[in-house]
């Protein structure tokens, strides 16, 4: 039978190892809230603004000036003085901007003559987000300008024309007036109505920090004992492998639950992120930590030296950071990569956490993720305990 | 005669091509202080680790109390204690914490833990260091703590791998006194060492070299086998004589002991007779001789020089060249 006295002995000893290692203590107390603070600010807002840009008005017509005034009212641009050749090739890089806009000569006249000329826009596509946003802002401004002009036009139509128009058949008249009003979409935003990115990214931040800390902390525990020689001492005692695994996981579980609480506190107090259904979130955190710790322990019982354990941890953590959907929706990844990312505990943690916190989901909608985390936890802990059992060196 | 507690039958361990332990067969009876002797690399640690179930024998079997040391390793673990060669306790835990940890690990009932801890602290003279960090203890106290941890569950058998290596004479004596006390109380001791004076203190010894068991028996019997093969001569200059003697056929060993030359030979008597007829070393002066009682150092040298064959304690009929 599993003995609680034995588990307690190991858990106490493991806790003392961490507690007496002042440097590690300092790191795990200070880093999680600090990282949450840092990453939180880094990912607080995803809307693009203050793109360095420059414009050249070769037209100098009232129309072009009117349009540019509308454009300048948008805060997406941070206008710089023009630098370059407005006719030939524009070198954004040397000009130090990400967008250049040229109003071609005769633009205003073209609008009046029924022959609108395109505005020239040169955009930096190296960062894939900026160019589409700038283009969208340009289109939007152009649309605004166009409907303003149309309103002016209708306003100034002579009465005779209006009377003339009334002679048109009713359906055509309706269709015509429909064409003259801007069509619109009525958007209703659910789940994250303020569209604040921080609410979306918070579980990613919390999960990533905890993933990092749990795996690296526990990954060195068995290998350290192996290196120092205490593992042989452990193995000649009648301790069961399951007792060793439980005893080692327990203190780290308690420590990391505290760490999660501290990051969540920063998220709530500093960034104003609300956390819903605390019980469901706690279960998610608990299973996620258990899986991560099991994984760390598995790495630990598999490696021969501490250096090896840390290296393996890093090789594991790197894809987790990039592919677990902590900072960007998984839907953007290609299918095979997505399947691979389904293997990471962080993926399921982030999804379950968001479902609960943003979608206010019921437990049934995250049952799959929770089950995966639970199975992973059992599997890794059992694996670590099996590896301990067959040690022969 | 008490029954055998530990039995080894052709126990072997290979690391790749290297035969670290090569077909060792012997048995150790309950209550013995068994000294496992051998030079560094002889295979002592590997043998102990196999007996403790820490590494799998590649051939042969070992049993403790009739249980297989590998297959039944999870069942025998509570019966013995193991003091490894290298200090391996938790340096960041205090003496008391280490003891309480091992008490828990060895399943000492929680109501008994306090009394047991107090008892071993007292027995091993560690009372005043209970709250010191294990890593800050001096070498001797570290070793005492390691023994204390291995004794916390009152095992019937204690394995100690070179417990006195590198210790000062006071601590060495303290550890041997402890071994006697444990033995007196009925604990069987399996101790490895390469100090020959310690071999004298064991009730039984096994001598390994290159992974093979070369001799096994009580120190008295082993020394008996060397009787009549040992002669001490006074020759001047002694150092030159030592090297000259080593080249002589019929002499297996010549060593300096307190200024005299101790010779191991197949038939020292015959040598003496021949020297009376003709002294073969014109540069050396023969001053006298006396017969000496062999000690374990002599036995060790005789065996490691191949003077004796692994089977049987009789002098080898073949003459072996002296190995430096
Ligand atoms: N894990 C190992 N891998 C390879 N060779 C080993 C290993 N452990 C011991 N050996 C070799 O086996 C031989 C016996 O070693 P050991 O049992 O430690 O000797 P002793 O304890 O008598 O000094 C040595 O030659 C050593 O190099
Ligand atoms: Mg050794």
More confident position, A328 or A275: A275
Residue with tokens 């991560």: A292
Q: Residue A349's pLDDT band (boundaries 50, 70, 90)?
A: very high
Distances A121 to A54, A55, A82, A149, A297 between C-alpha atoms, Å: 10, 9, 13, 22, 56
- What percent of chain A has pLDDT above 90? 45
CA angle at B8 for the pair B6 and B9, rounded to the nearest 5°: 145
More confident position, B313 or B178: B178
Angle between helices A363-389 and A278-302 (to 10 degrees): 20
Quick one: pLDDT at residue A47?
A: 67
CB pairs under 8 A between A and B: 79
Residue nearest to atom 6 of ligand 1 (CA): B15
The region of weakest confidence among A12-26, A242-256, B309-323 is B309-323
Supply the pTM of this predicted model: 0.82
The CATH classification number of B4-217 equals 3.40.50.300
Least Cα distance to B125 among B104, B140, B106 occurs for B140
Distance, CA of B94 to CA of B82 (rounded, Å): 20
Ligand nearest to C-alpha B13: 1
pLDDT digits (tens, 9 = 90+) for B200-214: 999 999 999 999 998
Quick one: pLDDT at residue B311?
A: 52
8 Å CB contact of A236 and B54? yes
Distance, CA of B21 to CA of B85 (rounded, Å): 17
Residue B314 has pLDDT above 70, yes or no: no
User: Do B69 and B60 touch, CB atoms closer than 8 A?
Assistant: no
ipTM for the whole complex: 0.84
Distance, CA of A108 to CA of A79 (rounded, Å): 22
Residue A53 has pLDDT above 50, yes or no: yes
Residue B246 has pLDDT above 90, yes or no: no
Asked if the C-beta of B107 comes within 8 angstroms of chain A's C-beta atoms, the answer is yes
**Mean pLDDT estimate for chain B:** 89
Distance, CA of B241 to CA of B112 (rounded, Å): 64
The domains located in chain A, with CATH, are 4-44+197-389 (no CATH), 51-180 (3.40.1710.10)
Quick one: pLDDT at residue B309?
A: 58
pLDDT digits (tens, 9 = 90+) for A146-172: 888 888 888 888 888 888 878 888 888
Ligand 2 centre and the CA of B35: distance in Å?
13
pLDDT digits (tens, 9 = 90+) for B20-79: 999 999 999 999 999 999 989 999 999 999 999 999 999 999 999 999 999 999 999 999
Per-residue pLDDT averaged across B281-294, rounded? 88
Per-residue pLDDT averaged across B73-89, rounded? 93
8 Å CB contact of A236 and B100? no
Q: Is CATH 3.40.50 the classification given to domain B228-292? A: no
Residue boundaries of the structural domains of chain B? 4-217, 228-292
User: Do A119 and A103 touch, CB atoms closer than 8 A?
Assistant: yes
Q: Which of A3, A230, A236 sits opposite B77 (nearest CB)?
A: A236
Domains B4-217 and B228-292 share a fold: no
Q: Residue A194's pLDDT band (boundaries 50, 70, 90)?
A: low
Quick one: pLDDT at residue A125?
A: 83
Q: Residue B1's pLDDT band (boundaries 50, 70, 90)?
A: low
Quick one: pLDDT at residue B316?
A: 42
More confident position, B253 or B176: B176
User: Do B85 and B165 touch, CB atoms closer than 8 A?
Assistant: yes
pLDDT digits (tens, 9 = 90+) for A72-103: 888 788 888 888 887 788 888 888 888 899 99
- What percent of chain B has pLDDT above 90? 61
User: Do A123 and A134 touch, CB atoms closer than 8 A?
Assistant: yes
Q: Residue B128's pLDDT band (boundaries 50, 70, 90)?
A: very high
- What percent of chain A has pLDDT above 70? 98
Atom of ligand 1 nearest to the CA of B21: 14
Quick one: pLDDT at residue A48?
A: 72
User: Do A309 and A303 touch, CB atoms closer than 8 A?
Assistant: yes
Q: Residue B2's pLDDT band (boundaries 50, 70, 90)?
A: low
Residue B221 has pLDDT above 50, yes or no: yes
Q: Residue A262's pLDDT band (boundaries 50, 70, 90)?
A: very high
Per-residue pLDDT averaged across B165-183, rounded? 93
Asked if the C-beta of A19 comes within 8 angstroms of chain B's C-beta atoms, the answer is no
Residue A182 has pLDDT above 80, yes or no: no
């Amino acid at each position: 039978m599993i003995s609680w006295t034995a588990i307690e002995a190991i858990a106490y000893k493991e806790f003392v190892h961490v507690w007496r290692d002042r440097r590690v203590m300092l790191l795990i107390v200070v880093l999680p809230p600090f990282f949450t603070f840092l990453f939180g600010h880094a990912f607080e807002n995803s809307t693009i603004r203050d793109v360095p840009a420059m414009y050249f008005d070769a037209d100098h017509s009232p129309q072009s000036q009117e349009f540019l005034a509308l454009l300048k009212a948008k805060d997406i641009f941070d206008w710089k003085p023009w630098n370059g050749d407005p006719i030939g090739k524009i070198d954004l890089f040397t000009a130090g901007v990400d967008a250049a806009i040229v109003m071609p000569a005769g633009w205003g006249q073209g609008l009046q003559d029924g022959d609108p000329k395109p505005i020239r826009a040169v955009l930096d596509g190296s960062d894939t987000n900026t160019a589409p946003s700038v283009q969208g802002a340009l289109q939007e401004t152009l649309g605004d300008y166009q409907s303003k002009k149309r309103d002016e036009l209708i306003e100034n139509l002579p009465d005779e024309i209006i009377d003339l128009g009334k002679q048109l058949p009713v359906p055509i008249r309706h269709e015509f007036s429909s064409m003259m009003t801007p069509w619109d979409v009525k958007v209703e935003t659910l789940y994250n109505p303020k569209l604040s990115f921080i609410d979306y990214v918070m579980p990613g931040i919390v999960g990533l920090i905890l993933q990092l800390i749990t795996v690296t902390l526990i990954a060195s525990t068995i290998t350290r004992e192996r290196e120092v020689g205490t593992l042989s001492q452990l193995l000649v005692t009648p301790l069961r492998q399951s007792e060793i695994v439980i005893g080692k996981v327990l203190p780290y579980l308690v420590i990391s639950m505290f760490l999660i609480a501290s990051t969540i506190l920063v998220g709530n107090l500093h960034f104003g992120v609300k956390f819903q259904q605390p019980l469901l979130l706690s279960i998610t955190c608990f299973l996620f930590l258990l899986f991560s710790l099991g994984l760390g322990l598995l790495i630990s019982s598999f490696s021969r030296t501490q250096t090896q354990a840390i290296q393996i941890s890093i090789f594991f953590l790197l894809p987790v950071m990039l592919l677990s959907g902590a900072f960007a929706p998984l839907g953007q990844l290609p299918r095979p990569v997505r399947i691979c990312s389904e293997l990471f505990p962080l993926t399921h943690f982030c999804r379950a956490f968001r479902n609960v916190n943003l979608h206010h989901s019921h437990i049934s909608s995250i049952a799959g993720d929770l089950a995966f985390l639970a199975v992973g936890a059992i599997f890794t802990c059992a694996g670590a305990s099996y590896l301990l059992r067959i040690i022969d060196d | 005669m008490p029954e055998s507690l530990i039995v080894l039958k052709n126990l072997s361990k290979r690391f790749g091509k290297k035969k670290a332990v090569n077909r060792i067969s012997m048995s150790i009876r309950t209550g013995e202080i068994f000294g496992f002797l051998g030079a560094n690399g002889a295979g002592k640690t590997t043998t102990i680790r196999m007996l403790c179930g820490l590494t799998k024998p590649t051939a042969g079997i070992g049993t403790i109390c009739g249980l297989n040391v590998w297959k039944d390793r999870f069942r025998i673990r509570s019966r013995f204690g193991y003091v490894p060669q290298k200090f391996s306790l938790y340096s960041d835990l205090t003496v008391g914490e280490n003891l309480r940890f091992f008490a828990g690990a060895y399943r000492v009932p929680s109501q008994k833990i306090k009394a047991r801890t107090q008892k071993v602290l007292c027995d091993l003279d560690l009372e005043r260091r209970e709250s010191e960090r294990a890593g800050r203890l001096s070498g001797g106290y570290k070793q005492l703590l390691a023994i204390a941890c291995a004794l916390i569950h009152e095992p019937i058998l204690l394995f100690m791998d070179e417990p006195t290596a590198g210790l000062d004479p006071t601590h060495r004596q303290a550890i041997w006194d402890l071994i006697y006390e444990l033995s007196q109380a009925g604990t069987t001791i399996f101790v490895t060492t390469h100090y020959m004076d310690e071999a004298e203190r064991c009730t039984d010894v096994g001598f390994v070299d290159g992974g093979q068991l070369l001799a096994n028996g009580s120190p008295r019997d082993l020394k008996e086998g060397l009787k009549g093969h040992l002669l001490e001569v006074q020759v001047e200059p002694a150092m030159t004589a030592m090297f000259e003697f080593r080249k002589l056929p019929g002499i297996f060993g010549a060593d300096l002991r307190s200024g005299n030359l101790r010779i191991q030979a197949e038939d020292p008597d015959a040598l003496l007779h021949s020297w009376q007829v003709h002294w073969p070393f014109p540069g050396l002066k023969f001053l006298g001789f006396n017969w000496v009682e062999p000690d374990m150092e002599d036995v060790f040298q005789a065996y490691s020089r191949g003077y004796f064959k692994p089977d049987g304690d009789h002098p080898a009929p073949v003459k072996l060249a002296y190995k430096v």
